Structure 1
Amino acid sequence: MKKAYAIVALSLFFLAACSKSDEQPNPNEDAYLHIPDPHFETVLVEQGIDTDGTVDQQMLRTDAEKLTYLDLSPSGKFGDIADLTGIEGFVNLKFLAASGQKLEEIDLSANTQLDTLYLQANYLTHIDLANNPNLLLVNAESNELTSIEGLSEATQLKKLYLSFNNVENLQLDNPALELLHMGQNLLTSIDISGAVNLKNIFLISNALTTVDLSQNTLVETILLSDNAIQNIDLSHNSNLTHLYISSNVLTSLDVSNNQELIDLRADRNPTLSCIKIGSGQEIPTVSKSDYQELNTVCE
């Protein structure tokens, strides 16, 4: 009987040992990144980044960690990339370009060093950049974006390109931002009061009825044509040189405080008959409709 108990105990010991052995992490899992998209990996192989030279759904993590610059945009000859799983291993990336692909989603939460991001001409509906505080430039034009989160974390962001998307509302709290492209969206409201260093604002072809520019005192170029703007206050924008505000529903327009203005486009505003200018103010280029006049006094 004692012998039987000893055999049972020994068997249980070996079973426990085997179980613990099974729970040990596979060192290969830590050494390799999973790259399920063959087109993504093909580009990595062709560029000499994936050093094993084989499209086998994996690459050495150390290969990824060496990179600070990755341009996937010219990959059309290898097929379009639909899945960037594995990008999380490129933890030292500062520059990433993945334009003209078939991406519907992207997770950049592990790429905390990014400062330049090109994602235009994909099928993205949402981007979260909360873990990318070092961004200086973001270009996600020509996607299907309805929202972009985490932008406020990018306090050094200087250039933002989001034209040709489906964004309806946007608030920007980016004090370093100098250039904003948001044309051809569905914007009904935008708050740029926190972007105090904006110099160039492109918002053509949206559904905006008004824009508050009172905090954007450095702005030089404003493109607002093809919206539904009813009124606009430009009294705080003395550096303004270019104003495109055609095809709106303005009832009044006062540019008398904008003495640096050299290009004004205000035609096709059916209810705007008089544009107020300052005494002696000359604007070299003016585009207006026949029923509109420039005058120092507008009733």
Structure 2
Amino acid sequence: MKRMFLFFIQIAIINLVNAQTVHIPDTNFKTYLVGNSAINTNGDTEIQLSEAGAFTGTIDCGNLNITNLTGIEAFVNLTKLWCYNNQLTSLNISQNTALIDLRCDENWLTKLDVSKNTALKILMCHINQLTVLDVSKNTTLKDLRCYENQLANLDVSSNVALERLDCALNFLVNLDISQNTILKELTCGWNQLKKLNLKNGNNAALQVMLAKGNPNLSCIQVDNVANSNAYSNWAKDAIASYNTDCNYMSVNESNKTKITLYPNPVKDILNFSEEVSDVKITDISGKTVKQVANSSKNINVENLPKGIYIVSFKTKSGNVVSQKLIKD
């Protein structure tokens, strides 16, 4: 009886210890945390809930081939999370409400919810697979880098503290920074922009503006045309001009048919959902790497190096369209 009693006592102690430790299934992530003396303050082989809750510094676990960040939810007072260049396909930071700096770039994230992270000032989520990014709750955000994703929409009207925005290499059609009066740097090139409103009453603060690679953008709305043309660090396509009123509201695009590229990413044959002509492929530096003038529903891109490109083409109705292409 005494032995059985001791056995149950041991089981209870083990369960109590397990209940007080953080579940961290990814070996690489756990190795990093256990090896960090600022986190693992008692020097054992586990991370206690008390240790995680007490930590207020930076978790820098980039470049560690981590596939799962489960356990991060226990770090409720964490202020900086740098998990860049890993193999993450999901990231739950809903419990990390003290975060001011999140760098989860160069992963495989398809969605990212930052609605609970209202203290964020820096968000770097570039080079992922995001199709949606809602930053409406992040009103203190100063630096947003979301380039090289698959975003079709981006609303930054609530981000009045924003100073830097890099949203290049997405599928954006419309971008409005009229509420971002202290923005200093904007990079929005190689999208599918048809509307770009820079008119915020303080264009003089916008030290860098790069909007090249948007062949469907003919008018950019600004504070002052002469000043915009004179800014040395502003760059646009030759087809685009600056205007104080682009009359965007009168543009009717409802009857235009979206042409699909597939597969994308592509290895050899790139198909179009309908016949197109004057196909031009450029790399991210703007260099033309392939041109096909004849009408066709597919082209061979097998000889292109792996990377990200912009494909421009003319539809049957005469519209020039550009889309992002990923070459495997």
Same fold per superposition (TM over 0.5): yes
Report deviation, 1:113: 0.6
> For 1:38-85, what per-residue CA distance to the aligned partner results, in whole angstroms no more than 9, with x for missing partners?
11101112223344543xxx5211111222223333553xxx111111
Q: Secondary structure at the match of 1:171?
A: coil
Paired residue for 2:254? none
Q: Residues of 2 paired with 1:245 and 1:201: CA distance? A: 12
Which of 94, 107, 113 is the matching residue for 1:128?
Answer: 113
Which of 160, 164, 168 is the matching residue for 1:175? 160
Superposition pairs of residues 38-187 of structure 1, within 5 angstroms: 38-48=27-37, 49-50=39-40, 51=42, 53-54=44-45, 59-76=47-64, 80-149=65-134, 151-172=135-156, 173-187=158-172
Deviates more, 1:227-236 or 1:155-164: 227-236
Conserved? CA contact 2:29–2:61, under 8 Å: no
Mapped contact 1:117–1:138 kept (Cα < 8 A)? yes
Aligned partners of 1:113, 1:134: CA distance in 2, in Å?
6
Q: Distance in 2 between matches of 1:216 and 1:121?
A: 35
SS in 1 for 2:99: coil
Residues 213 and 236 of structure 1 are in contact (CA less than 8 Å); yes or no, is this contact kept in structure 2? no
Deviations for 1:191-228, whole angstroms, at most 9, x for unmatched residues? Answer: 32332321211001111012011226232321000012
The CA deviation at 1:234 is 2.5
Letter in 2 for 1:41: K
The question of whether the paired residues in 1 share the 8 Å contact of 2:177 and 2:199 is answered with no
Percent same amino acid at aligned positions? 30
1:177/1:197 contact within 8 Å kept: yes
- What secondary structure is seen at the aligned counterpart in 1 of 2:81? strand
List gaps (5 residues or longer) in structure 1.
1-25, 256-267, 269-299
Aligned-partner Cα distance in 1 for 2:213–2:239: 9
Change in Cα spacing, 1:253 to 1:153, as seen in structure 2 (3 Å) is closer
Aligned length: 222
Greater C-alpha radius of gyration: 1
Q: 2:21 aligns with which of 23, 32, 46?
A: 32
1:225 aligned residue (208, 212, 220): 212
- Structure 1: how far apart are the matches of 2:140 and 2:99? 12
Question: Given the two structures, how large is their TM-score scaled by the length of structure 1?
Answer: 0.68
TM superposition shift of 1:27: 4.2
Is 1:244 aligned to 2:235, yes or no?
yes
Runs of 5+ consecutive residues of structure 2 not aligned to the other structure = 1-14, 245-287, 289-328
Q: 1:236 to 1:133 in 2, by over 3 A?
A: farther
RMSD: 2.3
What residue is the counterpart of 1:272 in the other structure?
Answer: none
Secondary structure at 2:221's aligned position in 1?
coil
Match of 2:267 in 1: none
